[in-house]
Amino acid sequence: MSTRSTGLCGRLCLSGLFDRRVCAGACLLGFFWVCFCPDESVPPAGDDRGTASAGQMGARRQQISFRGRLSRRSIPIKIFERSEGDDVYGWGLTHFCCEGIDLGIIMSKTLAAIREKVEAGVRLSFEDGLALEESNDLFALGSMANMVRERLNRNFGYYNVNTHINPTNVCVYKCDFCAFRADLGEDRAYVMDQAQIEERARQAHARGATELHIVGGLHHKLPFEYYVDVVKWIKSAAPEIHIKAYTAVEIEWFAKISRKPLETILRELMDAGLGSLPGGGAEIFHPEVREQICGAKASTERWLEVHRVAHKLGLRSNATMLYGHIDRPRHRIDHLVRLRTLQDETGGFQTFIPLAFHPDNSRMDEIPKPSGVMDLKVMAISRLMLDNFEHIKAYWVMLGLKTAQVALAFGADDIDGTVVHEKIYHEAGAETPQEVTVAEIQRLIAEAGRIPIERDTLYHRVERDGGSWTSREHIDAAALAGAVAG
Ligand code: V47
C-alpha cells in the first residue's frame, strides 16, 4: 500500500506543483473515501457483452467525484469507476485520475488473488474466469496472460504459410452467424470439382505453403466419398502439404449421411491423407446460446466427441470459440472450461483460436462487431483459463493485423498464416487483405518483441532453402530458446 500511495503522490506532485505532504494526504483521503464511503449505485453503463464492467453479474458501479483545494490552484480530482462486485467478486478497479491523467490503478483484491494463482501456476476456477470477465483492467489481464504465454512459449511468435480451400458453400444448416452458406439452387452456390481442387493444391505448393486448411458447407446431396476424394486429390497434386481438414461439425455430418461411426469416418479420411482437424464449428457450447444460433448442427457433446475420437486415433486438433454476438461472460467461461476438461482427458488439442464475430451479411447483422477491448480481453482470458493448451492463436484474418499484433502481448503466441482464398470471414465483412507476405508477418511479430518462427501445422520448425522447405524438430520453446541464445 505504501508504495502505491507513494506512486500516486509522486505523480500528483507533478513537476513539483504541489506540496508532497498535501498530496499524500489527498491521496489517502481519496483512497479511504473510495473504500469506505456508502454505496451509491448507478445503473450499469457498459454493454452487456462483458467488455465493460457491466452489471450483468450483479456488479454495482459507483461514480464519485472529489474536488479539493490541493494547492494555490484548485484542481478537480475525479475518482471514478469503483466497480464493486458482489460477494463473489469482491472489489473491482479503482482508478485515480487527475485532470485526465490516470494516476494509477489499484488492483482489486480479486484480481490480486488471481494473479497470485497465475504466478504460482495454479489452475483458475470458473468463478475466477467470471471475475476476469468482470474486470476492465486490460493491462492487468494482459500482463497475467503474457506471463503464461512467456512461460509456455518464451519469446517466440509463430506463423505458418497456408492456403484455404472451401470445397462447397452449399449447406443444409442455416446458422445465424454464417454469411458464407448458400442454398442448393442459389446463384452463388458452388461445388469445386477435381480439377479446381488440384489446381488450388498446385498453386499452394508453388507458393511454398506447408498447409491446406479445408472447411466448407454440409451439402445436401454430396456423398461422404466426395469429401474423401477432396483429400485424395490434394495429396496427389501436392503430396508434402499437410491437410488440416473438416471441422467436427462436418465429421459429424459425414457420420450421419454415411451411417458410419465417427472412428470409421476419421480412419478413412486419415487413410486418404488427412493430417489434423481444424477447430471450427465449436461456436459457443452453452445450450442457451448454441440452441439459438446454430441449434440444428452438431451438438456440443458431439463436437467434443469427434475431437475425443480423433485424439484417440492420434490426430491433433484445434479448438475455437465464436464470441461477440449473443454470448455472455458465463457462456464464454463455460466454453473454455469444457475445452480444458477434454484436454485434461486427451491432451490432443494444439491451439485455441478465439474467433471474433463478423456480422455483415449474416442473420445477426444488427449486432455490432466486438470491440478492440473485447478482442484483447477474450484473448487474455482464453490464455489464462486454458492452462493446458500450448498455443493461443490471434487469427489476423478476423482480428485485423493491428489487433492481432497487439494480441501477441495479451496471451497469443501465434498469428496464423499468410492465408489466401479465405471466404468465411470475407463474406461476413472482414476488411483484412486475403494474404500478407511472410516478410510482413515476420515484421509484425518482431515489432511486437517476439522472435518469428515459421512452424508447420503440427508445430515443427520449418526450414527454408530457396523454393523448398523441410519440417524439422517439434518445437520445444525452452530448447529453442537455448539454441537461439547459444
Ligand atoms: O466454424 C463463421 C466461424 C469458423 C463467421 O483450426 C465466423 O487453425 C465470425 O474454424 N464471423 C471456421 N466467425 C474457421 C475456423 C478456423 C479459422 C482459423 C484457424 C482455424 C484453425 C480454424 O468460422 C466457423 C465459425 O465458427 N465463422 N461465420 C462470422 N460471420
Asked if residue 216 has its Cβ within 6 Å of ligand 1, the reply is no
Q: 92: left (phi > 0), else alpha (psi -120 to 50), else beta?
A: beta
Asked if residue 428 has its Cβ within 6 Å of ligand 1, the reply is yes
CATH architecture label of 156-485: Alpha-Beta Barrel (3.20)
Centroid of ligand 1 to alpha carbon of 30 (angstroms): 47
Q: Which atom of ligand 1 is nearest to the CA of 178?
A: 28
Asked if residue 459 has its Cβ within 6 Å of ligand 1, the reply is no
Distance CA 476, CA 486 (A): 15
CA dihedral 133, 139, 145, 150 (to 10 degrees): 180
Q: What is the grid cell recorded at 250?
A: 462436418
Asked if residue 279 has its Cβ within 6 Å of ligand 1, the reply is yes
Distance CA 187, CA 184 (A): 9
Distance CA 348, CA 359 (A): 31
Among the ranges given (183-197, 419-433, 436-450), the one the predictor scored with the smallest mean pLDDT: 419-433
Position 417 confidence tier, pLDDT thresholds 50, 70, 90? confident
Asked if residue 283 has its Cβ within 6 Å of ligand 1, the reply is yes
Run of H or E residues at 235:
helix 224-237
Between 96 and 292, whose confidence is greater? 292
Between 311 and 68, whose confidence is greater? 311
> Taking a C-beta distance cutoff of 8 angstroms, is the pair 474, 460 a contact?
yes
Asked if residue 297 has its Cβ within 6 Å of ligand 1, the reply is no
Q: Which atom of ligand 1 is nearest to the CA of 395?
A: 18
Asked if residue 210 has its Cβ within 6 Å of ligand 1, the reply is no
Which residues are registered as beta bridge partners of 162? 211
Q: Tell me what the mean pLDDT of segment 105-134 comes to.
A: 92
Asked if residue 362 has its Cβ within 6 Å of ligand 1, the reply is yes
Residue 86 pLDDT > 90: no
| Closest C-alpha to ligand 1, atom 6 | 278
**pLDDT at position 484:** 85
CA dihedral 359, 360, 363, 368 (to 10 degrees): 40
Q: Tell me what the mean pLDDT of segment 225-243 comes to.
A: 98
Residue 184 pLDDT > 80: yes
Distance CA 171, CA 204 (A): 26
Q: Tell me what the mean pLDDT of segment 456-463 comes to.
A: 98
What is the amino acid identity at position 21? R
Residue in the structure block whose three cell numbers are 493430417: 275
Asked if residue 357 has its Cβ within 6 Å of ligand 1, the reply is yes
Among 320, 321, 415, the mutation site with the greatest number of ligand 1 atoms within 8 A of its Cβ is 320
Q: What is the grid cell recorded at 30?
A: 481519496
Residue 160 pLDDT > 60: yes
**pLDDT at position 9:** 39
Q: What is the grid cell recorded at 446?
A: 518482431
Residue 89 pLDDT > 50: no
Q: Tell me what the mean pLDDT of segment 420-438 comes to.
A: 77
Asked if residue 424 has its Cβ within 6 Å of ligand 1, the reply is yes
Position 92 confidence tier, pLDDT thresholds 50, 70, 90? very low
**pLDDT at position 470:** 97
Centroid of ligand 1 to alpha carbon of 355 (angstroms): 6
Asked if residue 167 has its Cβ within 6 Å of ligand 1, the reply is no
Residue 77 pLDDT > 80: no
> Taking a C-beta distance cutoff of 8 angstroms, is the pair 52, 45 a contact?
yes
Please give the mean pLDDT across all residues of the chain.
83
Rounded percentage of the chain residues whose pLDDT exceeds 70: 78
Q: What is the grid cell recorded at 346?
A: 486427451
* Backbone torsions φ then ψ of 369, nearest 5 degrees: -60, 150
**pLDDT at position 364:** 96
Position 28 confidence tier, pLDDT thresholds 50, 70, 90? low
**pLDDT at position 45:** 30
Instruction: Choose among 142, 149, 58: nearest CA to 406.
Output: 142
**pLDDT at position 44:** 31
Which residues are registered as beta bridge partners of 472? none
Reported residue count of the chain is 486
Q: Which atom of ligand 1 is nearest to the CA of 249?
A: 1
Q: Tell me what the mean pLDDT of segment 130-141 comes to.
A: 96
328 DSSP assignment: -
Distance CA 444, CA 399 (A): 14
CA dihedral 121, 125, 127, 128 (to 10 degrees): 10
Asked if residue 179 has its Cβ within 6 Å of ligand 1, the reply is yes
Burial class (CB in 10 A: 0-12, 13-18, 19+), 74: exposed
Centroid of ligand 1 to alpha carbon of 354 (angstroms): 9
| Closest C-alpha to ligand 1, atom 5 | 178
Instruction: Choose among 203, 216, 201: nearest CA to 253.
Output: 216
Asked if residue 177 has its Cβ within 6 Å of ligand 1, the reply is yes
Residue by residue, DSSP assigns 355-410 as EE---TTSTTTTSPPPPHHHHHHHHHHHHHH-TT-SEEB--HHHH-HHHHHHHTTT
Q: What is the grid cell recorded at 210?
A: 506447408
Residue 11 pLDDT > 70: no
Whole-prediction pTM value?
0.81
Among 210, 214, 327, 355, the mutation site with the greatest number of ligand 1 atoms within 8 A of its Cβ is 355
Residue 320 pLDDT > 70: yes
Between 99 and 395, whose confidence is greater? 395
Centroid of ligand 1 to alpha carbon of 178 (angstroms): 9
Asked if residue 355 has its Cβ within 6 Å of ligand 1, the reply is yes
| Closest C-alpha to ligand 1, atom 9 | 357
Among the ranges given (38-47, 209-218, 300-309), the one the predictor scored with the smallest mean pLDDT: 38-47
**pLDDT at position 141:** 98
Q: What is the grid cell recorded at 179?
A: 454469411
> Taking a C-beta distance cutoff of 8 angstroms, is the pair 358, 430 a contact?
yes
Asked if residue 153 has its Cβ within 6 Å of ligand 1, the reply is no
Q: 196-221 burial, b for 16+ CB within 10 Å, e for fewer?
A: ebbebbeebbeebbbbbbbbbbbbee
3-state secondary structure 144-167: HHHHHHHHHHCCEEEEECEEEECC
Angle at 477 between CA 474 and CA 480, to 5 degrees: 80
Q: Tell me what the mean pLDDT of segment 68-84 comes to.
A: 33
In the chain, where the domains are located: 3-153, 156-485
| Closest C-alpha to ligand 1, atom 29 | 358
**pLDDT at position 21:** 54
| Closest C-alpha to ligand 1, atom 15 | 280
Which residues are registered as beta bridge partners of 317? 277, 349
Q: Give Dmax (Cα) for the chain.
A: 83
